[in-house]
Structure 1
Amino acid sequence: MPGIAIAITVLIAALSAWVGARLLAGGAWGRQPGVDESRRNLRKVHSNPTPRVGGIAVAVGLIWGLLADGAWQGQMALGVLLLVCIAPGLLWGLIEDLSRRGAVLARLAFTAISAALGFFLLDARITGVELPVLDRLLAISAFSFALTVVAVAGVASSINMIDGLNGLSGFTTLLAALGLALVAWTVNDAFVFTAACAVAASMAGFVLVNFPRGRIFLGDGGAYFVGLVLALLSLMLVQRNTEVSAWFPLVLLAYPVWETLFTMFRRWRHGVSPLRPDALHLHTLVFHRVVRWKRRGATASDTTRRNSTASLALWWIPAVCFALAATFWDRTGALQLAALGFILAYGFLYRRIARFGVPRWLVIRVRLGQALAGPASAGSKIIFVNRFFFPDLSATSQLLTELTLDLAERAEVHVVTSRLKYDDPAARLPARAQYRGVTIHRVWTAAFGRFGLRGRAVDYLTFYLTCAVRLMSLVRSGDVVVIKTDPPLLSIVAAPIVLLRGARLVNWLQDIFPEVVGAVGIRLFSGRLGRLVQRLRDWSLASAEVNVVLGDTMREVLRRRGIAERQLCVIANWADGAALRPSAPEQNVLRGEWRLSHRFVVAYSGNMGRVHEYETILGAAELLRASSRIAFVFIGSGVRMRELKAEARRRELDLTFMDYQPRESLAQSLGAADVHLVSLRPQAEGLVVPSKFYGVAAVGRPVIYVGDPDGEIGSVVRRFNCGVAVRNGDRQGLAEAIRHLAASP
């Protein structure tokens, strides 16, 4: 899959859809067919007449994208067959859009024709769902054909069903296309990958016009078109790649599919035809009951803002489906549990909202004229966002706690964080709390563990989603929102909400992601995906009033990425000088408790993550094995701390490992050492700055820095003569430095 071909496909599809949508939205559609007027339909939640022919723009974008891809990669035949299969559903949808009349049976018939064509021409069929009874039935060709037609036509109708708010169906299908592209890329399915990229690009071009102002709607034609494409590509991906679970597309599209099935069941249960329209869909309930405001005096512009805000409030649902499907795409059991969990969660949420029991965390109160824009109010507040906060003992938590406590003396301060503790994965903190004037909002997040990449990805994604929901209800015009970098890329999620609310954005960067993961050898964000993430990250930084970085090298990295100098501010991390003071080793209580009173203690304190290195330290410990007076003590945790423990055990080295110490014992813990080790891989220089250095400096202990002597910490150590810098891999030099300090403390 040549990168140039993919780039051209995506660019052509996105530009074609965007230009087409702009042209269609700007025409004199008020006097022509294809205009949707809110008074004509009880399900509509907009005010102005709006063209509903966005499907034309999306179709044009996809067609041009597929043709460009076929010309470059020789896949023209498959692309043409895909378009032929979709044509009946698209054409009937456009007829409905232009005539403003819809015949349900005709709609189902034309989408069924598209599904049947896909079954025979593309081999897009359901042959197994990993459920024994159904699998035996699916071995019968007629049953497989019937189920395939019903499923594909159902997906097309389901996209149409959620097309009620600005950006809702667009965002849902965009994520679904990205999920297909991600898995197709993983299994090296070139056609599905490029076709899914073209769909995602076309939807992105359309969404830029559709959201947030609602200048054009996707319409029936667009909904059927996109739904059919996604359904057929999903079946092709599963059919052509046996490692992809048949449940992957079901979880990926769980929101529109279950919305449709639940709606039909709900109507049938109340004695109403399942095909009869109503205004009781989840998105219409959210519009009327979750996004609350005073109706009197509302203008058309206010209705549009409310519409877009309701859509934003629902984006987390398809995002959760995307995260689960993309993470467990090859694990049927996990996907089945995810599908069941989604159904239960959907039922709970719908029941609460339908009975006016809207969960408080979900309520969004929109003040007219100030919800999405407007002047700052007198009651502006400062909102910090980070995954960990007091009483957690991680470095980012301690820094944030110290800063917020100081600010709370002269401003209203809020912190949005998780209910987890970094040092105690089993702990669950209260959802809401007050601590010395700081209001703490703790949101739910998964806790699969920080030592596995997949589990950590799910933890991050769930925090993104629940945090976004909380920010939508908390942020007001004029607020200052400070975003930290745990979890990474949090600014991408927060920036649209902050800007939409008319607040001011500040990014406080502890590291530069995704470059930092590439520096430690993780290839997840290499190539096209990495470049896309970098561009989104850069956009979120460029949207901020200021970006706080930890050193000159970090500032230079971002400046080279195009971030303006005026938006970059260097503020190094710090330590609490009142709580951490120099003291003599013989006065330290912990040295006695740890039986280290008469030994020279070399300590490593804090997290040992992937950016830190222990190989040089372990090599020096081997060289000093015979020096019984020298003791190596490691305090803290982290993924590489576990590796270090295992390697020390294998080499039979006498190293001491301690858990994180309570915050009130931090001065004693840091003061228990005669010298502290701070390490950083050379590839990570300029992308992260070890914050543990500042606490060590505060207690007056020398530092041996294992890393680039000319880097951020190495330069400080040399400039202020507070220790020694040793290059990575120089275990002999590190051992000599320790011997020298032990001989002349």
Structure 2
Amino acid sequence: MRVLLINQVFYPDVAATAQHGHDLARDLVRHGHEVTAIASRSIYGRKGAALASHEVVDGIEIHRVGRSLFGKAGIAARIADFVLFYLAALTKALFLPRHDVVICFTTPPFIAAVGPILRFFKKTRFVYWVMDLYPDLPIACGVMKPKSLASRFFESVNRRCLRSADADVVLGRCMADLVRSKGVPEDRIRMIGVWSDQEEVKPIPRAENQYRSQWDVGDRVLVMYSGNFGIGHDVATFLDAARRLREDDRVRFAFVGGGKKKEEVESFVRDHGLESTCILAPYQPRENLDELLSAADLHLVSLLEGVEGIMVPCKLFGILAAGRPALYIGSEKSEISRVVVENDCGASVR
């Protein structure tokens, strides 16, 4: 079978959807399928075209198109970059040889609209891998008004994508409920939780951990938030916890990764003089993931109230593979809360 994956980020990017897309592609290749990916030439959030336009990695043929002209300069600039990627990705997909199935992700939002076009022109079956739901996310976070013309337009676009797909892959029970409420037939919804490769991520003892040594953590309790600091995540709660525990030398916090709210985290740490108790670090290389996740004694996972079902943080499963507990902050209706409680692998609070 010939499979096409379309997502703005892919190998070697370290964004979560890039890693899961690469994992899926490698597994399909191992099972004898021909896999092609269309992605951007830019590393997520950065300007310019840093990546090769074409290469073969792990048996996956990767076509990279367009480039980010603005990085994360602002909403209007990001929309412009998204539009450029839509056009470049659609053009590339139309001119490539026919694939049996196309799998569209959600970076950028509504890239899944390419799926129905390929099915119409090339009779390609269309799978929508729903990582996040738009415009649900910006509406839930107060960025867009629910009844605005833009919200109603983008909601109609997403519903058409969901309903036209041969299969909609969702990440949890809460997301399945939300997709079902948008009129998607039950027989088209497939729940496939995100994963962590236990060969790649495994527990590393504290005494042997390079991050604990590098950050001079010693025997203190290290509480970590690692990954995307996005608009749907609650950062205020754990920042307040770091402030309240600033005088307790037994505890250290580590905030590792990037995203829209990372600057808020950095400003809070700086403004409250928490540099001695809070470690700030960018995204770390994927090959260091087990070392990074094993460094913490407790991991933080969070969602704002009302975002459950719209997104499902994938970081939990890497945390569990590293043998560490998770503290989830958010609604008990979230898939993450349910997994934590049902499997007794941490705690869920709101």
Same-fold call, TM cutoff 0.5:
yes
State the alpha-carbon separation in 2 of the partners of residues 628 and 451 from structure 1: 38
Residue matched to 2:108: 487
State the alpha-carbon separation in 1 of the partners of residues 147 and 97 from structure 2: 34
SS in 2 for 1:690: coil
Query: Bigger radius of gyration, 1 or 2?
Result: 1
Q: Deviations over 1:540-597 (max 9, x none)?
A: 2211110100011111111111110011000000111111012321221221112112
Residue matched to 1:236: none
Gaps of 5+ in 1: 1-379, 728-745
Return the letter of the residue paired with 1:683.
G
* TM-fit CA distance, 1:500: 1.9
State the alpha-carbon separation in 1 of the partners of residues 349 and 25 from structure 2: 36
TM-score by length of 2: 0.95
Answering whether residue 64 of structure 2 is matched by residue 454 of structure 1, we say no
In structure 2, the CA distance between the partners of 1:524 and 1:383, relative to structure 1 (3 Å rule), is farther
Which residues in structure 2 correspond to 1:355-370 (within 5 Å)? none
* TM-fit CA distance, 1:532: 2.3
Structure having the higher helix fraction is 1
Which residues in structure 2 correspond to 1:401-550 (within 5 Å)? 401-409=22-30, 410-422=32-44, 425=47, 428-450=50-72, 452-476=74-98, 479-523=100-144, 526-550=147-171
* TM-fit CA distance, 1:497: 2.7
Q: Deviations over 1:144-189 (max 9, x none)?
A: xxxxxxxxxxxxxxxxxxxxxxxxxxxxxxxxxxxxxxxxxxxxxx
* TM-fit CA distance, 1:525: 6.7
Instruction: Tell me if the contact between 1:393 and 1:423 (Cα under 8 Å) persists in the aligned partners.
Output: no
Residue matched to 2:235: 614
Q: Deviations over 1:463-495 (max 9, x none)?
A: 00000100111252x610000000011112332
In structure 2, the CA distance between the partners of 1:671 and 1:457, relative to structure 1 (3 Å rule), is same
Q: Deviations over 1:208-236 (max 9, x none)?
A: xxxxxxxxxxxxxxxxxxxxxxxxxxxxx
* TM-fit CA distance, 1:403: 1.2
Which residues in structure 2 correspond to 1:317-356 (within 5 Å)? none
* TM-fit CA distance, 1:678: 0.7
Answering whether residue 321 of structure 2 is matched by residue 698 of structure 1, we say yes
Aligned counterpart for 2:296 among listed residues 673, 679, 704: 673
Instruction: Tell me if the contact between 2:174 and 2:333 (Cα under 8 Å) persists in the aligned partners.
Output: no
Residue matched to 2:5: 384
Instruction: Tell me if the contact between 1:394 and 1:423 (Cα under 8 Å) persists in the aligned partners.
Output: no
SS in 2 for 1:523: coil
State the alpha-carbon separation in 2 of the partners of residues 490 and 501 from structure 1: 17
In structure 2, the CA distance between the partners of 1:500 and 1:427, relative to structure 1 (3 Å rule), is closer
State the alpha-carbon separation in 2 of the partners of residues 598 and 638 from structure 1: 30
Aligned counterpart for 1:585 among listed residues 201, 206, 211: 206
Q: Deviations over 1:660-704 (max 9, x none)?
A: 111111111111111111111112111000111111111011001
SS in 2 for 1:639: coil
State the alpha-carbon separation in 2 of the partners of residues 411 and 519 from structure 1: 39
Q: Deviations over 1:203-261 (max 9, x none)?
A: xxxxxxxxxxxxxxxxxxxxxxxxxxxxxxxxxxxxxxxxxxxxxxxxxxxxxxxxxxx
Return the letter of the residue paired with 2:348.
A
Instruction: Tell me if the contact between 1:518 and 1:526 (Cα under 8 Å) persists in the aligned partners.
Output: no
In structure 2, the CA distance between the partners of 1:381 and 1:489, relative to structure 1 (3 Å rule), is same
Answering whether residue 217 of structure 2 is matched by residue 596 of structure 1, we say yes
Instruction: Tell me if the contact between 1:423 and 1:660 (Cα under 8 Å) persists in the aligned partners.
Output: no
Answering whether residue 333 of structure 2 is matched by residue 707 of structure 1, we say no
User: Larger relative contact order (C-alpha < 8 A, sep ≥ 6)?
Assistant: 2
- How many residue pairs get aligned? The number is 347
* TM-fit CA distance, 1:709: 2.6
Q: Deviations over 1:97-136 (max 9, x none)?
A: xxxxxxxxxxxxxxxxxxxxxxxxxxxxxxxxxxxxxxxx
Which residues in structure 2 correspond to 1:47-58 (within 5 Å)? none
Which residues in structure 2 correspond to 1:246-261 (within 5 Å)? none
TM-score by length of 1: 0.46
Instruction: Tell me if the contact between 1:606 and 1:635 (Cα under 8 Å) persists in the aligned partners.
Output: yes
Q: Deviations over 1:625-660 (max 9, x none)?
A: 111120001111111011111122112223210111
Residue matched to 1:627: 248
SS in 1 for 2:261: helix
Residue matched to 2:274: 653
State the alpha-carbon separation in 1 of the partners of residues 132 and 270 from structure 2: 32
State the alpha-carbon separation in 2 of the partners of residues 710 and 444 from structure 1: 39
* TM-fit CA distance, 1:514: 0.7
* TM-fit CA distance, 1:426: 5.2
* TM-fit CA distance, 1:425: 4.4
Structure having the higher strand fraction is 2
SS in 2 for 1:536: helix
Instruction: Tell me if the contact between 2:14 and 2:283 (Cα under 8 Å) persists in the aligned partners.
Output: yes
* TM-fit CA distance, 1:431: 0.2
Alpha-carbon RMSD: 1.5
Instruction: Tell me if the contact between 1:389 and 1:417 (Cα under 8 Å) persists in the aligned partners.
Output: yes
Q: Structure 1: which 4+ aligned runs deviate by more than 6 Å? A: none
Return the letter of the residue paired with 2:5.
F
SS in 1 for 2:300: strand
In structure 2, the CA distance between the partners of 1:580 and 1:423, relative to structure 1 (3 Å rule), is farther
* TM-fit CA distance, 1:423: 6.5
In structure 2, the CA distance between the partners of 1:525 and 1:382, relative to structure 1 (3 Å rule), is farther
In structure 2, the CA distance between the partners of 1:638 and 1:513, relative to structure 1 (3 Å rule), is same
Instruction: Tell me if the contact between 1:408 and 1:438 (Cα under 8 Å) persists in the aligned partners.
Output: yes
SS in 1 for 2:258: coil
Answering whether residue 192 of structure 2 is matched by residue 568 of structure 1, we say no
State the alpha-carbon separation in 1 of the partners of residues 172 and 286 from structure 2: 26
Residue matched to 1:723: 346
Percent identical:
35
Aligned counterpart for 2:180 among listed residues 538, 559, 570: 559
Instruction: Tell me if the contact between 2:45 and 2:72 (Cα under 8 Å) persists in the aligned partners.
Output: no
Gaps of 5+ in 2: none
Return the letter of the residue paired with 1:442.
R
State the alpha-carbon separation in 2 of the partners of residues 421 and 693 from structure 1: 24
* TM-fit CA distance, 1:531: 1.8
* TM-fit CA distance, 1:420: 1.1
SS in 1 for 2:20: helix
State the alpha-carbon separation in 2 of the partners of residues 470 and 510 from structure 1: 23
State the alpha-carbon separation in 1 of the partners of residues 45 and 183 from structure 2: 37
* TM-fit CA distance, 1:534: 1.5
SS in 2 for 1:684: coil
Instruction: Tell me if the contact between 1:475 and 1:498 (Cα under 8 Å) persists in the aligned partners.
Output: no
* TM-fit CA distance, 1:455: 1.3
